[in-house]
Structure 1
């Protein structure tokens, strides 16, 4: 049913043929397993990787409409996002012995109201502040996606030779690093190839923030380890709780700020 609805929607809005929609779903399915492994190692769901794969593949098969290309890529990314996030939720439920059936039911019940709420906030941000170059929210990620869609719409020949060379080198390096990760003699010292890939994708300020968080955690656990294994285990749990609190607080603060600015209570600096 969901696939049928996606086919109708993609055709009516973006003029995407059903073959591309079905192909995108078939490609996204197996790749969700790989993205699940990435999320299990880094707690980051790299959905843009799947979107890039779909953009590239469909451009090879003659899709030259940037909006249609972006729609198929984002469709696959949405599939990966839901699948991997559900995997994380179920994994968390498993750790606390929750009933997976109850979790899935709550997912279905929550997706409809949450969709309306998210659209409301997105519309509010667009109307009150604006997105794009020269606006309050420059949205660099959106500009990157728009540039990618326009580039891929011109076909693979529009991609420079240097990009292909860099892609080949990075792919070989990732394969070698993965082999070291799975070799017992080097697994303890080999860095995560997925974490390294994420660091190359996100902006440097985000990568540096992740590094600082990891450094603080490592120092705290190192100091706790000197006081015994029990203290070390408690420090590991408390570090997780502190990180979760930072995530939640920043998200809630952003929502409150948007509401206050939209109501005219809080004003942006000129």
Structure 2
């Protein structure tokens, strides 16, 4: 699915990359007198990027050799340009991050294997390269959206770019600490944190490095993906629904059904539909953030020990309340009703008055 999306985007990728390189020499506008034209100096950008690549190569805790650092520089430059322009011109939904990550993972694993970096070190290096490239593509697209929004409201690009750097640094430190916390509490790959995406990357890298990829299964999956694409179904969402656990994909499916219902109602103006859908997106975004915060809180409880037991075991409500499947369905239905309350049943008192 990722490779098909990348292939479909190739004409636009080549076109946007060529246009970006054509104007590359005119990108340094740091001396512009117009406030909304002031970017960070390209010298700072290039020297900073070079410093990051050298740091990735030389810092011992990062399992990447010189070849890996060079691959990050090449793929990072190309995919950052592609992602930022695709998102800026078309939208964030057209950013082929999955295809880029899979392509990088396969190429980097083969490259490291050819240079003699095999075994555990080679696999860790491949995962590190793929992870960095995936993050580069995602952040480039996000930055493009931010700068486009800033252009619309009249922000200063240079200040936005400094804010992006601060945000990335703080996010990296925060997410790193949370990942260590989750691993200490339950361990990635366990029943509590199955980590299907990380497991998929692990299987691909191990298969390429050790030469034992289950090719019949891979070709069967590729054939299904091609068939799905031919009949007009978006292949990436289909593929995600296949490999994610059912307790995750079921919620995604219900959310999609509700969104479809909101969009296809008759006798409702476009303005009302847009307002209700926007409110639904905000509400469900809060649900996602709340679920993440609760997960971090439970991890903190799991690592705090009181005697032989963790705090999470001591206050485990499932020992006292076991709703079962029927109770879970009832609570899920109540959750959907709350979504309706803030969308189609919402009454704006200010407009009513």
Could you state the TM-score of these two structures normalised by the residue count of structure 1? 0.71
Say if 2:75 is the partner of 1:40: no
| Structure number, greater radius of gyration | 2
Q: Which of 202, 218, 223 lines up with 1:146 in the alignment?
A: 202
Cα gap change, 1:161 to 1:110, in 2 (>3 Å): closer
CA distance in 2, matches of 1:163, 1:214: 29
Say if 2:316 is the partner of 1:267: no
CA distance in 1, matches of 2:147, 2:259: 26
Matched length: 250
Counterpart in the other structure of 1:212: 254
Q: Tell me, yes or no, if the aligned pair for 1:51 and 1:77 is still in contact at 8 Å.
A: yes
CA distance in 2, matches of 1:95, 1:246: 29
Shift of 1:3: 1.6
Say if 2:106 is the partner of 1:56: yes
Q: Which of 283, 291, 294 lines up with 1:250 in the alignment?
A: 291
Q: Tell me, yes or no, if the aligned pair for 1:221 and 1:235 is still in contact at 8 Å.
A: no
**What does residue range 216-235 of structure 1 map to in structure 2 within 5 Å?**
216-223=258-265, 225-235=266-276
RMSD after superposition:
3.6
Counterpart in the other structure of 2:219: 165
Shift of 1:262: 4.3
CA distance in 2, matches of 1:31, 1:163: 29
CA distance in 2, matches of 1:49, 1:97: 34
Say if 2:66 is the partner of 1:21: no
Q: Tell me, yes or no, if the aligned pair for 2:189 and 2:199 is still in contact at 8 Å.
A: yes
Q: Tell me, yes or no, if the aligned pair for 2:83 and 2:141 is still in contact at 8 Å.
A: no
Counterpart in the other structure of 2:52: 2
Counterpart in the other structure of 1:181: none
CA distance in 1, matches of 2:150, 2:244: 29
Q: Tell me, yes or no, if the aligned pair for 1:24 and 1:54 is still in contact at 8 Å.
A: no
Cα gap change, 1:68 to 1:139, in 2 (>3 Å): same
